[in-house]
Amino acid sequence: KAGVTQTPRYLIKTRGQQVTLSCSPISGHRSVSWYQQTPGQGLQFLFEYFSETQRNKGNFPGRFSGRQFSNSRSEMNVSTLELGDSALYLCASSHPGQGVYEQYFGPGTRLTVT
Amino acid sequence: AQSVAQPEDQVNVAEGNPLTVKCTYSVSGNPYLFWYVQYPNRGLQFLLKYITGDNLVKGSYGFEAEFNKSQTSFHLKKPSALVSDSALYFCAVRDYNNDMRFGAGTRLTVKP
């Protein structure tokens, strides 16, 4: 099976712009989660989508949003970029079913805001 | 609130020696615990998980973890470290909202 893919891998944006990141989960996985990873804050949960519905949301401002499509692919959008949004954005997919499930991560999108 | 703590930012071991990366947790109810590894410029890779049952969990690449309920710990171990094990290791707990909460990470360096 192909793994989780994220596009683009690298992105440079200017403060005030907006950006959209894309994630394609492992085939058959219906849950997609997004995380922000920075050296100072570590891994922070942004949101989780399941069957096109946002199931959970972390403690991030409304500038961060996401959505999931019927094929389980997900996008996250950050509007009015700030310098502090520079980070590695990781997407993870999982297959909720019976039991407790692990997540499978993509390689991430490295966003640099200048 | 559910949380995990990794008390060591950095662990250094010599190749061939046993390694331990520490993790303690705080949860209400049954803990669902995970270990992930991150290599440079890569996403996280799942190593192992504890749900219930045997306190010693075996995972990928020869890693294992020991669940200790009385000490609320879930330490990652490997009997003989390899240079290629050098990476960033994350402990995680799945909380009552089914959110995954990660520790701050421990950088493991294995020296030849």
Partner B contacted by A109 (CB < 8 A): no
Which chain B positions have a beta carbon within 8 Å of A107's beta carbon? 41-43
Does the pLDDT value for residue B20 go beyond 90?
A: yes
CB contact under 8 A, A105 and B100: no
Partner B contacted by A105 (CB < 8 A): yes
Cross-strand pairs, A66: A76
Report d(CA B85, CA B83) in Å as an integer: 5
Encoded tokens for B72: 């609320």
**What is the CA angle A49-A52-A56, rounded to 5?**
30
Encoded tokens for B92: 């995680």
B99 within 8 A of A48, measured Cβ to Cβ: yes
> In the 8-state DSSP scheme, what is residue A36?
E
Q: What is the CA radius of gyration of chain A?
A: 13
Task: Give Dmax over CA atoms of chain A in angstroms.
Answer: 44
Instruction: Give me the sign of the Cα torsion angle A65, A69, A74, A80.
Output: negative
Partner A contacted by B43 (CB < 8 A): yes
Q: Please list the pLDDT of chain A residue by residue as tens digits (114 residues).
A: 689 999 999 999 999 999 999 999 999 899 999 999 998 888 999 999 998 999 889 899 999 999 999 999 999 999 999 999 999 999 999 886 655 678 999 999 999 999
Does the pLDDT value for residue B27 go beyond 70?
A: yes
Partner A contacted by B34 (CB < 8 A): yes
Provide the 10 A C-beta neighbour count for residue A12: 11
Gap between the terminal Cα atoms of chain B:
41
Q: Which of B101, B33, B42 is nearest to B69 (CA)?
A: B33
| pLDDT at residue B40 in the model | 85
CA distance A79 to chain B (A): 24
